[in-house]
Chain A
C-alpha cells in the first residue's frame, strides 16, 4: 500500500492540466454557470473535439474505439481534473464514463458503428431517460411504455429531471415492454424523432439543467432496442458498475473551499468559527477523496466494486454539504454575484445527494451490504 502518485500518473495529470490551461477560454468560469445551458452545450462540443484530438477524451476506451486501453486511474485522474475545472465536457462525461462502454458491451454492430465514433470524436450529447414523475428512487415502477407494432415500437409516457435533454442528440431511454422489473427495456432514441417534447424546468441548479420529456406516440424501429427486450436491469447494473464511484465532486469542493478561505483571509474574516468549519469541511473532502480512490484502485486491479462504493458516494455527499454550508455561512456574497465559480459549485452541490440515486438509498445499501444488518421487511 502506498499513497504517492507514480510517475505515469503524475505525467498524465500534468498533461491534462496543461491542456486545460491552454484550451479553456479566459471567461470560462462565467460560462461554467448552467451545466446544460445552450452556451455550455455548444462549448462542450468544441472542447470535447479538441480533447479527442489530444487523445484525452477516451484514453480508457479500447483501441478499437479510439482509446488506448488506459486503466481506471487514468480515467479517474481525467475525471477529477475535468470536474475540478468546472466540467467543461458538459453532459459528455456520461458518454465517456458509461454510455459508450455500455454500448460496447450490449450494442449491435450497427448501433456501435452509429453511436460510438461520434462519442469518441466528442461531437454528440446524450441524455438519460430514467426518472419519471412516479418513479424516482423506485425506478422499477416506471410506466413509460414501448409497445410493439410490427417491426417498430411506439413509445408513450413521461420522463422527468432529465439533464441535458434540450441539447441532447440521443436519449438512453428506459421503457416498459412488459410488466415487472424484467419487463423494462433500453432504447436508443434520436431526440429529433417526432413526438418527443422537451420542456425545461427552472431549477436551483442553474440554466438548462433539468427537464421533463414527453413521449407521445414516438415511433422507433426495432434497431433502437439495446440488447434484448427486458434486459434493462442487467444493462443498468453494468452501467452502474462503470459509474460506481460517481463524479469526483470532492475535487471541485476542495478547490472552492480553498478559494472561499482565501477570500476570507484577504478580507481579514477567517476567524475561529470559520477556521473550525473550514477544517472540518477540508477533512471531509479528503475522506471522500480517499474513499473514492479505494474504489478506483479496486477497479484498476480487476476487483469488482463492492458496497464500499456506496460509502464513497455518501462521503462525497457529506463533503459537498459541508463546503456548501461553509460558503453560505461565511462567504454569502459568493451567492450574490461576487464569485461565479463559487456560485456554480454551490448550485451543482445541491444535487450531490439526489442525482444518480438518493443518498438515503446509498445508506440502505451500506446497511445491508457493508454492515450486513438484517434487511427491512417489505
Chain B
C-alpha cells in the first residue's frame, strides 16, 4: 500500500493537467447536451494517451487516473473504453469503442469503430458499417446512437466476456469518478458566489452538510475506481461500479437542488456532468446488475 504517485504517474498527471487546461471552459454559445470535442480526441491520439495502459511504467491504474481527469472536462470524447477496455481485446478492434446493451441506444455508438454488444450474459464485437448505426436525439450529454437490429457480432468466450465485463465496470467507475468530482465542484462554486437572504448559499448548514456528504461519496468512488484498476480484481470492479452508480443517484439530485433554476438552464454547464452520469446509471445492469456481480465475487453467491 503506497498512495504516492510514481515519477511516471506525476509526469502523466502534469501533462494531462496541461492538456486539459485548454478545454476547461464551456464554449459560451453552446446550448446543447452532447458537447463533443474532436480536438481533444485528436490531441489524445496524437499524444498516444490511448495507449497508456500498455506502457509498463504506467499501466491500467494510470489509465484510470487519465480517464478520471479528462471526465472532469465540460467537453467529452470516447476515452474511458479506449483506455481501459480496448487493451483487453485480442485482435485489431479500432477505436472509438461503444457498448450496446440489450438493443438500447448507447454512448458514442454512431461514431464507434468497434461496438461491444451485450445481450444478457453474452458479449460480442462488431465493426459497424456506416449504415448499421445511426445517431439518436437524447437528453443524455453524450452523443447517443443506435445499432441496427440483427447486426451480427463476433461472440467472445465466457472467460473473455467476464474479463470485458470487469474492465467495463472499471471504466464506468473511473469515468463516473471524474464526472462526480466536476459536478460537486460546480455546485460548490455556485454556493460560494450565489447570495440569498443577504449571504452566500454556502453558509447555510442544510446545504453545507448535503454537499459534504456528496463530496465524501465522490471521494469514495475515486478510491474504489483506482483500486479496481490496480488490483484488476472482478470483485473490486463490481464494488467500484456499484458505489459509482449508487453515489451518482444521490449526487445528481443534490447538486441540481443546490443550483436551483440555474442548473436547469443549458447556459450553465452542470448538466454536462449530471446528464452524463444519468447515462451511466443504467449501464451494465444498473445497481441491481452490479449488486449481483458483488454477490457473486464477494459473497460467493452462485
Contact = CB atoms under 8 A, between A and B. Distances in A.
Contact of B223 (A6, A282, A291, A375): A291
Interface stretch (B1-9, B115-123, B126-134, B157-165): B1-9
Contact of B6 (A1, A73, A275, A370): A1
A282 B239 CA distance: 8
Interface string A278-306: 11101110111011011011000100000
Contacts of B184: 371
Contacts of A2: 1-2, 61, 230
Interface of B: 1-6, 9, 61, 184, 188, 191-192, 199-200, 202-205, 208-209, 211-213, 215-216, 219-221, 223-224, 226-227, 230-231, 236, 238-240, 242-243, 246, 287-288, 290-292, 294-295, 298-301
Contacts of A73: 1
A301 B4 contact: yes
Contacts of A276: 287-288, 291
A315 B216 contact: yes
Contacts of B227: 3, 286, 290
Contacts of B202: 367, 373-374
B208 A280 contact: no
Interface string A4-34: 1110010000000000000000000000000
Contact of B1 (A5, A279, A286): A5
Interface in A226-276: 258, 261, 265, 270, 272, 275-276
B2 A297 contact: yes
B221 A270 contact: no
B219 A3 contact: no
A367 B301 contact: no
Given A284-B243, A290-B227, A373-B191, A315 B1 contact: no
| Top 9 closest pairs, chain A to chain B, by CB | A287-B220, A279-B291, A373-B202, A290-B223, A367-B208, A279-B294, A366-B212, A283-B243, A363-B212
A122 to B, nearest CB: 27
Contacts of B4: 1, 297, 301
The interface centre, meaning the residue of A261, A301, A308, A311 with most chain B CB atoms within 10 A of its CB, is A311
Given A275-B292, A279-B294, A367-B208, A293 B200 contact: no
B295 A371 contact: no
A364 interface: yes
A374 B242 contact: no
Nearest to A308: B219
B203 A366 contact: no
B223 A287 contact: yes
Task: Give chain A's interface secondary structure class.
Answer: helix
Contacts of B9: 1
Contacts of A370: 212, 215
B212 A371 contact: yes
B3 A294 contact: yes
A360 interface: yes
A314 B212 contact: yes
Contacts of B204: 376
B226 A367 contact: no
A318 interface: yes
Given A1-B2, A1-B4, A311 B216 contact: yes
10 contacts: A5-B1, A73-B1, A279-B290, A282-B299, A286-B224, A291-B216, A291-B219, A296-B1, A367-B202, A377-B199
Contacts of A360: 209
Given A308-B219, A363-B212, 9 more contacts: A1-B61, A4-B231, A6-B2, A291-B216, A291-B220, A363-B213, A371-B211, A371-B212, A373-B208
A306 to B, nearest CB: 12
Contact of A376 (B203, B215, B240, B291): B203
Nearest to A316: B216
A293 B223 CA distance: 10
A303 to B, nearest CB: 9
B301 A286 contact: no
A283 B239 contact: yes
B224 A287 contact: yes
B188 A373 contact: yes
Contacts of B290: 279
B192 A374 contact: yes
A151 to B, nearest CB: 47
Contacts of A368: 208
A287 B61 contact: no
Given A276-B288, A287-B220, A1 B239 contact: no
B59 to A, nearest CB: 10
A1 B238 CA distance: 21
A371 B203 contact: no
